[in-house]
Structure 1
Amino acid sequence: MDSTEIKATGRRIMNELMGDGYVEKKDQSRNSFNDVIQDYSEEVCFGRVWARDGIDRKTRSIVNLAALTALGRPAQLAHHVEGAINNGATVDEIKEVLLQTAVYCGLPAAGEAFKVAEGVLRAGGHLD
């Protein structure tokens, strides 16, 4: 694939992961400063890595939840909680992944991740 096809694949996967219209909404914030990081995300992260066949999207989502918790990245974690649901992860699986991070990443990181995930899951109607 050439870079145009890779970018188109990345944009398609982003919309599948985050919901229809996500990329178009993100495009509204594109400018001459942030265009390079948006291109990188579309081409490398989603057009190349997420497009690979080695593991399924649900597994990729679960890995992301753990990594973003460990790194303390709540804004990205929120996006990927939604993406994990879209990729077939259950609320119980998300809960277990975040609990697992408490052991290896620490209680403060996991506690924050639980707060972020609960907000996303509640807003999406996945919690009562």
Structure 2
Amino acid sequence: MNKEAFEKGLKTRREVLGAEYVDNSIKNADAFNMPMQELVTEYCWNEIWNRPGLDRRTRSIINLSMITALNRSHELKLHVRGAINNGLSKEDIQEVFLQAAIYCGVPAAIDSFRCAKEVFAEMGI
């Protein structure tokens, strides 16, 4: 593990997903899954999210689209929260899911709408 890349990724991960969630993920990691925490923090959150080519808002749009296509509700809820933190509105997220419905399938998009509504309720928006 590259400690500097990990720390940069950890900073970005906290800014997007929220420090409480990220710190709990790291704190609750054990010898089995800590290597995965290190991998995603170093590579996803530093090497990709910190690249200059796309802003965080755009990266959130891409993530919501791909996670909808994969039908991964836990990750979707996390990234809906991150998308709000990165400046997307409920209406922006709605548009992403409507487009995903056509290109990824209606059932996947319906699940994404359900997940987003839960997050919006939790966030009071």
Shorter-chain TM-score: what band?
over 0.9
**TM-score with structure 2 length normalisation?**
0.96
Correspondence list, 1:45-124, <5 A: 45-124=44-123
Correspondence list, 1:28-39, <5 A: 28-39=27-38
Superimposed CA distance per residue, residues 12-43 of structure 1 (whole angstroms, 9 cap, x where no aligned partner): 01110012333221122110100111111100
Superimposed CA distance per residue, residues 54-86 of structure 1 (whole angstroms, 9 cap, x where no aligned partner): 000000001000000000100000000000000
Moved over 2 A (4+): 20-23
Distance, in Å, in 1 between the alignment partners of 2:93 and 2:84 is 9
Fraction of identical pairs, as percent: 41
**TM-score with structure 1 length normalisation?**
0.94
**AA paired with 1:60?**
R
Computed over aligned residues only, the root mean square deviation of the Cα atoms, in angstroms, reads 1.1
Cα drift, residue 109 of structure 1: 0.5
The alignment status of 1:21 with 2:5, answered yes or no, reads no
User: Relative to total residues, which structure has the larger helix share, 1 or 2?
Assistant: 2
Distance, in Å, in 1 between the alignment partners of 2:119 and 2:22 is 19
**Preserved contact between residue 68 and residue 77 of structure 1 (Cα < 8 Å):** yes
